[in-house]
Amino acid sequence: MSNRGRVFGFSELAGIDVVKWPRFLPANFEKPNTRPLMQTGPGHYDDAVFTNLASRIGSPAAVNHSSLVSPLDRRLFLRQLSAGALGLIGVSACHNAALAADESRLLVHSKAPMNAEPLLPELVKSWVTPVESFFIRSHGNTPQVNADSYRLTVEGLVDAPLSLSLTDLGRFEPHGVTATLTCAGNRRSEHSRLKPVKGVQWREGAIGNAKWRGVRLSDLLKKAGLRESAKHVWFEGLDAVEDGGKTFAFGGSIPLEKALLDRDAVPGALLATAMNDQPLTADHGFPVRMVVPGYIGARSVKWLSKIVVSDRPSPNHFIADVYKLVDEGTLLEVAETGPIYRMPLNSAICTPTAGAALKPGRVEVTGYALPPGVPGVSIRKVEVSADSGRSWTEAKLTSTASEFCWQLWSVEISVNSATKELIVRAIDSRGDAQPEAVRWNAKGYLFNAWHHVPVN
């Protein structure tokens, strides 16, 4: 019997292996543990189940990646690659094996394509999100790329088209950036309560902050030589997405100005080969993905295979037709509407979780706040209300402030028997506040209204 669309009870969840296990492991790999695994069908989830699971799973110590593998510096990167890239494959396979056990921490919305998000209390344990707690958003298959034969091409409005192996990429100067990636559909399940929309019903966990390392897009473009008419940079992945009876690769593009906007150690766009000092995992785009700080996740194309410099935005479905803010989504409206690029100001409460039983008195509330993807704009303050917005208490920003990165926050707030919900809102350094409510849109993108968490 198919489990699609079912809401699982807790006891069923405890024993179920819903993600194909092991997805990346050699046949003789021993399964390290069996943790409860969550799955939701499209549009289905159950707050009580979710809360139960969160408390049952508990709070295991976050994996310290730096203690597992030393940072991928330029020397290491080149050394791995000079061994015919086999070193990189080996490291990646091991790393995937180590991570697979922890995939059980993710709330799996669908397995094929793989779409999963972490439990909110896990998410705010550290400013840098461990890879195993990082959301996965894929529209098609998860390619298993052979690092040996991998090539990346740079073509279009350039003087000298490039075809690069991983070894060639390793010869560019390495750069790193910490940046938050968030899906434009983050919090869609809340948006669907206004009026249902199709698509993965993300809760508030389609977001994560990682340390990325790789090569600046601007360096590649300089090497290829830009023609004067160049205005946009297209990206294409190696995956196969099926939509409307057609099969095509996921793609997108960014304006050339963004590609060249390397400011204060924050690259406009990075071709990342490492995430949190480890080679990328297959789910996150091994061997090379784009990371476009400040832009919605859809522009950070995974399993990158092709870069095209053009005088117009990419015609790829994921920028020409979707990832647009439209009311009804008629063909005319879609044609007349530009693509979404920047991520919006947002915030969410991560603890306590929905349905929590709070004793009257002081309660610690924690969560994240995301600045908008506007250069130079940061989070000014975060406020929490326990009385339906009549009064607000300012939270303490507990983590680093860094361009295009989320900030974690916490606050102690008084609750009583009349407290029915907790609410959070963020205000950015320009004085712009998260809206109390947002206008409904046909695809459920960019939901950034005040976050309400019902409590008992």
Applying CB under 6 A, the residues found at the interface with ligand MTE are 134-140, 181, 183, 237, 239, 250, 284, 297-298, 300-303
Give residue 104's Cα distance to chain centre.
17
End-to-end CA distance of the chain: 36
Angle of helix 74-82 relative to helix 86-100, nearest 10 degrees, comes to 110
221 near 259, Cβ under 8 Å? Answer: yes
Q: Measured from the CB atom, is 411 or 446 closer to ligand MTE?
A: 446
Amino acid at 434: Q
Distance separating alpha carbons of residues 395 and 383, to the nearest angstrom: 6
Least distance from ligand MTE to the Cβ atom of residue 38, Å: 17
Separation in Å, CA 281 to CA 80, 96, 274: 16, 6, 9
Least distance from ligand MTE to the Cβ atom of residue 306, Å: 11
Least distance from ligand MTE to the Cβ atom of residue 365, Å: 26
Least distance from ligand MTE to the Cβ atom of residue 31, Å: 24
Q: Measured from the CB atom, is 294 or 352 closer to ligand MTE?
A: 294
Least distance from ligand MTE to the Cβ atom of residue 251, Å: 7
Q: Measured from the CB atom, is 136 or 354 closer to ligand MTE?
A: 136
Q: Measured from the CB atom, is 141 or 429 closer to ligand MTE?
A: 141
| 110: CB partners within 8 A, 6+ apart | 42, 200
Least distance from ligand MTE to the Cβ atom of residue 181, Å: 6
Closest CA to 142 of 263, 6, 284: 284
Q: Measured from the CB atom, is 123 or 136 closer to ligand MTE?
A: 136
DSSP 172: S
Least distance from ligand MTE to the Cβ atom of residue 415, Å: 34
Least distance from ligand MTE to the Cβ atom of residue 273, Å: 13
Q: Measured from the CB atom, is 410 or 448 closer to ligand MTE?
A: 448
3-state secondary structure of 102: helix
Q: CA 434, 437, 439, 445 torsion: positive or negative?
A: positive
Q: Measured from the CB atom, is 135 or 341 closer to ligand MTE?
A: 135
Distance separating alpha carbons of residues 273 and 296, to the nearest angstrom: 19
**3-class SS string, 55-83:** HHHCCCCCCCHHHHCCCCCHHHHHHHHHC
The number of CA neighbours under 13 Å toward the Cβ of 222 is: 10
Least distance from ligand MTE to the Cβ atom of residue 123, Å: 13
Distance separating alpha carbons of residues 109 and 102, to the nearest angstrom: 16
Q: Measured from the CB atom, is 345 or 423 closer to ligand MTE?
A: 345
Least distance from ligand MTE to the Cβ atom of residue 153, Å: 15
Helices (H), 284-378: 317-320, 331-336
Q: Measured from the CB atom, is 298 or 427 closer to ligand MTE?
A: 298
Least distance from ligand MTE to the Cβ atom of residue 114, Å: 8
Distance separating alpha carbons of residues 283 and 252, to the nearest angstrom: 18
Closest CA to 291 of 282, 304, 278: 304
Separation in Å, CA 307 to CA 105, 146, 155, 298: 34, 19, 6, 15
Least distance from ligand MTE to the Cβ atom of residue 75, Å: 26
Q: Measured from the CB atom, is 150 or 303 closer to ligand MTE?
A: 303
Give the start-end residues of each E strand in 244-398.
246-248, 251-255, 270-275, 278-279, 289-291, 304-310, 346-351, 361-370, 379-385, 393-394, 396-397
199 near 182, Cβ under 8 Å? Answer: no
3-state secondary structure of 12: helix
